């Protein structure tokens, strides 16, 4: 399975309008950095200096505008900018927000609601960044993984091989039957959390034990004819490959959608923390 190039449809979002939003966002970030570097407040840089307030207001505006995308993208119908433009701006201005808000803090972080808001914002941007990378990477990988098939076909193949393996195993001794049964008895086809870290889970464990027994004991020690044993070994291997593909498909689909849930949940938390931050700052002036 070779790395396919990113699917065509994703390119215009990042390069929308010849990257005009990239330029604008970069300008915002660069201007903030330059102002910060050349600002000489009469106290350590923080959110309360003139520049700190300015960056705070800009950051607040950016957060509200970025959050508005969650509503805008659900409004279908003609009129307004195309959604690609919104998404492009959402991505680039979200990255610029990281710069603006960090400079707003003046790099002062403590265990309080203000820093909580900042931390939530960082997590929201990080999850969005992950989502962007996922969209650039996983659709192509997912397509290559399915290779023209779909989930149903994969499952049908797995089931057929399950039954085939069990049937074939009946010709061998009790231990072979038990091992093949254990290998093909899979209460849960979807990967577990640990499988997201371990890369090659199916061909370990029971399947490998069964194959080892078939090869080592039956084919080797008992010297059963290869014509009888090898088709079962092959079926077990094919089954593992199919499961691997099904799991990989599951993982791609999960990664392509789960980040959005995290992004959304944290965004709501961020909005509440941000409003609290603004109210508190003016509550105790």
Partner 1 sequence: MPILIRFRPRPGMDIDPALDRRFDADEVRIGRSPESDLVLRDEALRFHHAVISQSDTGIRIRAVGQERDEIALDAVGDSVVLGSHSLTLAPPDAEGPVLVIEPCAGGEDAATLSARYLAGLELPRLAVRRWAWGLALAVLVLGFLVPLASTLLPSSRGLIAAAPAALRPSILWQVGTMSSAHAGFGTECRSCHETPFVPVRSSACLACHAGTGQHVDPHRVPGMDLAETRCETCHHEHKGAVQAIREDQGFCVSCHGAIRRQFPASTLADISDFGRDHPEFAPTIVTDAATGATSRIRLGTPGPWPDHGNLRFTHAQHLAASGIKGPDGNRVLTCPDCHRPDASGAQMQPVKMERDCLACHQLQFEPSHPEWHLPHGQPEEVASRLLGFYGSAVLAGERFDPVRDALFARPGEAPTPAELPQAAAHSAAAAAMASSIARAACGECHATVAPAPGADPLAWTVPPVHVPASFLPLARFDHAKHTSVACQNCHASETSDGGPEALLPGISICRQCHAGAAGDGQKIASPCVSCHVYHHAELAISAPGGVPK
Nearer to partner 1, 26 or 143 (CB): 143
**Applying CB under 8 A, which of residues 4, 53, 220, 257 lies at the interface with partner 1?**
257
What tokens were used for 208?
């490998």
Nearer to partner 1, 23 or 196 (CB): 196
The reply to whether 182 sits near partner 1 by the rule CB under 8 A is no
Cα–Cα–Cα angle for 125, 129, 130, rounded to 5 degrees: 120
**Distance from C-alpha of 11 to C-alpha of 164, rounded to nearest angstrom:** 45
Residue list 78-137, contact with partner 1 (CB under 8 A): 108, 110-114, 116
**Applying CB under 8 A, which of residues 31, 143, 177, 234 lies at the interface with partner 1?**
177
Q: Give the binding range for partner 1 (CB under 8 A) out of 2-10, 81-89, 204-212, 253-261.
A: 253-261
15-34 footprint of partner 1 as x/- string (CB under 8 A): --------------------
Residue 93 CB, nearest approach to partner 1 (Å): 22
Is 243 in contact with 32 (CB distance < 8 Å)? no
The reply to whether 74 sits near partner 1 by the rule CB under 8 A is no
Is 256 in contact with 138 (CB distance < 8 Å)? yes
Alpha helices in 149-199 (DSSP H): 151-169, 174-184
**Applying CB under 8 A, which of residues 33, 181, 182, 228 lies at the interface with partner 1?**
181
Binding residues for partner 1, how many (CB under 8 A)?
Answer: 60
**Applying CB under 8 A, which of residues 160, 182, 203, 228 lies at the interface with partner 1?**
160
Radius of gyration (C-alpha) of the chain in whole angstroms: 28
207-246 footprint of partner 1 as x/- string (CB under 8 A): ---------------------------------------x
Q: Residue 254's closest CA among 166, 195, 178? A: 195
Q: Give the binding range for partner 1 (CB under 8 A) out of 86-94, 156-164, 214-222, 226-234.
A: 156-164
For 19, left (φ over 0), alpha (ψ -120 to 50), or beta? Answer: left
End-to-end Cα separation, the chain, in angstroms: 61
Q: Which residue has the tokens 């300015």?
A: 54
Residue 55 CB, nearest approach to partner 1 (Å): 15
Is 184 in contact with 232 (CB distance < 8 Å)? no
Nearer to partner 1, 55 or 96 (CB): 55
**Applying CB under 8 A, which of residues 57, 190, 212, 222 lies at the interface with partner 1?**
190
**Distance from C-alpha of 60 to C-alpha of 3, rounded to nearest angstrom:** 40
Residue 211 CB, nearest approach to partner 1 (Å): 18
**Distance from C-alpha of 31 to C-alpha of 17, rounded to nearest angstrom:** 22
Which of the 8 DSSP states describes residue 2? -
Quickly count: other Cβ atoms within 10 Å of residue 193's Cβ: 6
The reply to whether 57 sits near partner 1 by the rule CB under 8 A is no
Is 256 in contact with 134 (CB distance < 8 Å)? yes
Contacts with partner 1, residue ranges (CB under 8 A): 40, 42-44, 46-48, 108, 110-114, 116, 151-152, 155-156, 158-160, 162-163, 166-167, 169-174, 177, 181, 188-190, 246, 249-250, 253-254, 257-258, 261, 264-266, 268-269, 271-273, 276, 279-285
């Amino acid at each position: 399975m070779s790395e396919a190039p990113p699917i065509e449809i994703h390119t215009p979002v990042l390069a929308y309008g010849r990257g005009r939003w990239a330029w604008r966002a970069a300008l915002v970030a660069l201007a903030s950095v330059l102002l910060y570097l050349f600002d000489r407040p009469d106290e350590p840089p923080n959110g309360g200096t003139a520049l700190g307030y300015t960056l705070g207001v800009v950051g607040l505006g950016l957060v509200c505008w970025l959050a508005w995308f969650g509503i805008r993208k659900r409004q279908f119908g003609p009129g307004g900018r195309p959604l690609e433009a919104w998404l492009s701006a959402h991505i680039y201005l979200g990255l610029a927000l990281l710069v603006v808000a960090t400079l707003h803090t003046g790099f002062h972080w403590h265990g309080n609601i203000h820093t909580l808001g900042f931390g939530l914002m960082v997590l929201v941007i990080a999850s969005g960044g992950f989502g962007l990378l996922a969209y650039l990477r996983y659709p192509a990988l997912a397509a290559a993984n399915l290779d023209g098939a779909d989930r149903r076909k994969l499952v049908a193949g797995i089931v057929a091989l399950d039954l085939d393996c069990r049937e074939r195993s009946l010709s061998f001794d009790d231990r072979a039957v038990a091992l093949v049964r254990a290998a093909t008895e899979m209460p849960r086809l979807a990967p577990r959390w640990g499988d997201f870290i371990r890369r090659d889970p199916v061909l370990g464990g029971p399947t490998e034990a069964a194959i080892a027994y078939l090869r080592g004991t039956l084919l080797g020690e008992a010297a059963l004819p290869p014509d009888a044993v090898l088709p079962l070994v092959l079926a077990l291997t094919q089954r593992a490959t199919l499961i691997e593909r099904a799991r990989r498909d599951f993982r791609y689909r999960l990664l392509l959608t789960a980040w959005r849930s995290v992004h959304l949940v944290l965004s709501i938390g961020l909005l509440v923390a941000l409003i609290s931050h603004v109210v508190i700052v003016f509550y105790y002036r």
